[in-house]
Structure 1
Amino acid sequence: MKNILLTIEYDGTLFSGWQRQPEKRTVQGELERVLGIVCRCPVQLNGTSRTDAGVHALGQRASFKGDFGIPTDRLMLAANNILAGGMNAVGKAGDLRILSAEEVPEDFHARFDAKGKKYVYKILNCQETQIFRRNQYYQVRKELNADAMRRAAGYITGTHDFKCFQSAGGQEKKTTVRTVYELNIIEGKTEAGQRTLSIEIKGDGFLYNMVRIITGTLVEVGLGKLSPEALPDILKSGQRQKAGHTAPPQGLYLSKVYYDLEDLAGL
């Protein structure tokens, strides 16, 4: 019996999220289908994060167990060939790819052994409509004040009750207290010279839509609709309606999953 840990990247545009659903194309469902063909046995994946429809991943992790003969290094190559289109895959890239496959101890679980995650949220800050970037960025047309957003981010970093940054509809959690180790706002430009802002957030866990609501709140700070100094009171209130809007899924990327606490905390 092998226990395999996968690292996966995907463009979430045409997926109905991670979790398998009847009659819908999902990342988990597609991977389980292809791995079942390669391993010649049913496969059930345990994913670290149940990303929503439209959300992307640069480093999603998932594990599965099975009694199959194909070598681990060949498993990834065979699965990626099918995911890219099989015999017609020359020169083509699909929207889902396995980046690595490794054998791990039998008791390892991709979700329950994770110590934390890093997300990146990409904002395109320009006036002109960008149709070819609409599935990769959240376009904000009015100029954002990045310095004000950074001041607000300073209040979010640390250990807090993040109930105000949680959407209704997620799984009930025992506690809404989380630790955000880093929250950085990085300015850049596209190849065409358009301004971008990347919000990078690393923490020990995230509530339902927490990153998207934090992003929406920071955008409202950047637009001058909220003061950076309002963040402590928003956090203390625990009220969702006091925080900003929920940013759309298209700009969100699951960047990295941490299994080492020291790596997560930057120790």
Structure 2
Amino acid sequence: MRNIMITIEYKGTNYYGFQRQSDRLSVQGCLEDAIYKITSEKVNLTYSGRTDAGVHALGQVANFYTNIRIPIEKIPGAINSKLPDDIRVIDAKEVSLEFHARYHAKRKRYKYIVLNSKYKRPIYNDISYFVKYDLDIDKMIQESRHLIGTHDFKGFMSTGSSVKTTIRTIYEVELKKEGDLIILEIEGNGFLYNMVRIIVGTLIDIGRGRIKSSLKDIIESNDRKKAGNTADSKGLFLQKVYY
């Protein structure tokens, strides 16, 4: 028996999230079907965490058990030959039988792209959140620094999730403007349901002047109503998982 860890890149536009669903197209479903076609084994992928409908990934990680003897360097190509063009396995490693893609993850890094221009740009339609309003980027950058550290992010979680604790540690935040794009990169030991999208929505509302409160005060309030809207899923990318 072998335990194979794969790194996956996908464009989430056509999928109802990563997690397999009985009646809807999912990234996990496509991967498991592709693996079955090359191994004749029904595998159950373990993954670092689910991504919602429309969310993309540059470095999702999953693992599966198999008896196939295909050389490890040939596994990505074999799986990819059975996948649609918007999903690709970009790396594969053989790991210990105890490795678990979710439980052994130490930290994750996400990227979020905002298109801040007068008009929509077709090339960015599926991979960014369009905001036509003028934004105070310097204010947004200044406020984003309050995210760093260990905080209770209860006010930045959507309903519908049960977790033991809402305390998370953010190690790094980078917010920058490149032409018409505003890019947020954030790295932490874990993220609550829709946490990154709510952070982005809050920073946008701060940049528009709709929210006058400091992000520090909003975090300390633990009140979801004081934070901003949940930004669109299509601007979000799971960038990297660290082990």
**Please, what TM-score do these two structures have when normalized by structure 2?**
0.97
Please list the CA deviations of residues 180-212 of structure 1 after superposition, one character each: whole Å capped at 9, or x if unmatched: 1111112113xxxxx111000000000000000
Correspondent of 1:163 among 138, 141, 154: 154
**Shift in Å, 1:154:** 1.2
**Match for 1:174 among 141, 161, 164?**
164
Amino acid aligned to 1:114: A
Confirm or deny that 1:60 pairs with 2:60.
yes
Distance (Å, rounded) in 2 between the aligned partners of 1:14 and 1:58: 16
1:7 positional shift: 0.4
Deviations 1:205-236 (A, max 9, x none): 00000000000000111111123x52222111
Q: CA deviation at 1:120?
A: 0.3
Match of 1:217 among 188, 202, 208: 202
| Of 233, 239, 252, the match for 2:236 | 252
Contact 1:39/1:69, CA 8 A, preserved across alignment:
no
- Secondary structure, counterpart of 1:82 in structure 2: coil
Q: Which structure 2 residues correspond to residues 1-267 of structure 1 after superposition, within 5 A? A: 1-84=1-84, 94-170=85-161, 172-189=162-179, 195-227=180-212, 230-259=214-243
Extract unaligned runs of 5+ from structure 1.
85-93, 190-194, 260-267
Cα drift, residue 69 of structure 1? 2.4
Tell me which amino acid in the other structure corresponds to 1:200.
Answer: E
Letter in 2 for 1:209: N
Superimposed CA distance per residue, residues 90-146 of structure 1 (whole angstroms, 9 cap, x where no aligned partner)? xxxx10000001100110001100001000000111011223321111011012211
1 CA distance for matches of 2:125 and 2:9?
19
Aligned letter for 1:130? Answer: R
Is the Cα contact below 8 Å between 1:15 and 1:53 reproduced in 2?
yes
Q: Do the aligned partners of 2:141 and 2:176 also contact (CA within 8 Å) in 1?
A: no
In the alignment, what sits opposite 1:264?
Answer: none
Percent identity for Structure 1 against Structure 2: 45
The AA in structure 2 aligned to 1:226 is I
Q: Is residue 117–residue 203 contact of structure 1 (8 Å, CA) maintained in 2?
A: yes
Per-residue deviation, residues 146-176 of structure 1 (Å, max 9, x unmatched): 1100111111111100000000012x11110
Measured after TM superposition, the shift of residue 238 of structure 1 is 0.8
Number of residue pairs matched by the alignment: 243
Normalised to the residue count of structure 1, the TM-score between the two structures is 0.89
